């Protein structure tokens, strides 16, 4: 679900945007203003939240981007499998299997401990241990 739509000149470092159907976090942005009749150009460096891929794009200043809604929830780890953890949401007591793309976080998880998972456009991933 899209939270809002912003122009590329309104983007700040740390903003989450949707590029090519995937959610990215902006790590660096350079805005250059051109001559009298030109348009501002924005060079955006972003890293994918789920995939970890880096993307660099250059767009006009009036280009519009969607800002996704990211829900951050707490859960208790019930068990661990192959790059996935079975967790129980601490608010709704719902159990689910969630991916953990970062190996160091996955290795630090232990049963009966709490973690934080993000719901990014319907895709759930474990982001950190609490």
Q: Output the domain CATH number for residue 85.
A: 2.40.50.140
Pair 90, 75 in one domain: yes
54 and 78 assigned to the same domain: no
Check which CATH number belongs to the domain holding 34 and give it.
2.30.30.30
Q: How many domains does the chain have?
A: 2
Please write the tens of the pLDDT for every residue from 73-120.
Answer: 999 988 888 888 888 988 888 898 988 877 888 888 888 889 898 888
Asked if 59 and 115 sit in the same domain, the reply is no
Instruction: Give pLDDT tens digits for 3-58.
Output: 889 988 888 999 999 988 889 999 999 988 877 777 889 999 999 988 888 999 99
Pairing relation of β-strands 64-68 and 95-99? Answer: unpaired
> What pLDDT, on a 0 to 100 scale, did the predictor assign at position 28?
94
CB under 8 Å to 83, separation ≥6 — which residues?
Answer: 99, 100, 101, 106
33 and 14 Cβ atoms separated by less than 8 Å: no
* The pair of three-digit structure tokens given for residue 16, joined into one six-digit string: 């989450």
List C-alpha distances in Å: 70 to 5, 8, 42, 49, 58.
Answer: 15, 20, 24, 11, 25
- Judgement on whether residues 58 and 113 belong to the same structural domain of the protein: no
């Amino acid at each position: 679900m899209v939270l809002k739509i912003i122009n590329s000149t309104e983007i700040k470092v740390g903003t989450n945007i949707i590029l090519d159907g995937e959610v990215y976090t902006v790590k660096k942005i350079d805005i250059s203003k051109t001559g009298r009749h030109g348009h501002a150009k924005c060079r955006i460096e972003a890293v994918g939240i789920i995939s970890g891929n880096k993307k660099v794009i250059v767009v006009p200043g009036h280009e519009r981007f969607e800002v996704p809604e990211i829900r951050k929830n707490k859960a208790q780890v019930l068990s661990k499998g192959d790059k996935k953890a079975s967790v129980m949401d601490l608010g709704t007591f719902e159990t689910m299997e969630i991916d953990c793309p970062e190996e160091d976080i996955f290795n630090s998880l232990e049963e009966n401990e709490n973690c934080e998972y993000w719901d990014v456009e319907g895709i759930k991933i474990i982001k950190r241990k609490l």
